[in-house]
Amino acid sequence: MQLTAGVYFYASPGGLDFSGEICSNTIILRGQKLVVIDPGRLDRLPGLLEKMVDDGLNPDDIDSVILTHSHPDHLEAAPELAARFGARLCLSSLERKFLQESSEIFYAKYQYPGPEVKFEVCEPGVASFPGLSFNIISTPGHTPGGLSIFWPEKKLLVTGDLFFPGTIGAINLFGGNPGELYKSVARLRDVGGVEMVLCGHGPALVDRDMVIQNYRALLAEIATKKAAGVL
């Protein structure tokens, strides 16, 4: 569904229920071409493409795919988008290395992208795509090379699995780092002008009050975990 001009949000049916088959939310940014953030699982791709067409988006216009991190519920469909539409696949250099290290752990039940799949490096800083310019922010903690995306023009922040509505992301998976996650949450809290936050799972936070209230909940959870010795 279209949230605002140039921003499309496709929520996973599972929401924040991680007990079943997990698939990430997908975000699409529209400029002269399309940038897909976290296309999700391969078996969900046909449904995603159908929803895009229903919203007036042409999959042939996909220029790039940005992965906030390399967990298979976010990345599995990416190689298919590269094969079918010629999309560039982008990861941070740290996350590309982590993908190779974690393949046997995370991809036992998924389609693992083999060495023939090429990932371009997408590092922190200003990133330019056809008709689009936004900021890539390093946000490790859930994984070592996690990225978030801030589009100042739309006052939009995309966080991957760093945090969700009401709670921080998992810190007990391979590659998770509680201390780094806390620093990353604080880094995003200091990004000015954010009025919409789209996370890797769960509903959209679509106004400034929701964004502020969510940060308060996250900081309270972090304080409780630090007091318990988890962080």
Helix 208-227 with 178-189: angle, nearest 10 deg:
150
3-state class (DSSP) for residue 112: coil
Phi, psi angles (nearest 5°) of residue 197: -125, 130
Which residues 6+ apart lie within 8 Å of 197 measured at CB?
156, 157, 158, 159, 204, 205, 210, 211, 214
Query: For residue range 12-50, what is the model confidence (pLDDT) as tens digits?
Result: 988 888 888 899 999 999 999 999 999 999 999 999 999
Cβ atoms of 23 and 14 closer than 8 Å: yes
pTM for the model: 0.96
Torsional sign, CA 149, 32, 133, 124: positive
Domains and CATH numbers, the chain: 2-227 (3.60.15.10)
70-100 tens-digit pLDDT: 999 999 999 999 999 999 999 999 999 999 8
pLDDT tens-digit map of 156-187: 999 999 999 999 999 988 899 999 999 999 99
Contacting residues for 124 by C-beta, under 8 A, at least 6 apart:
92, 136, 137, 138, 147
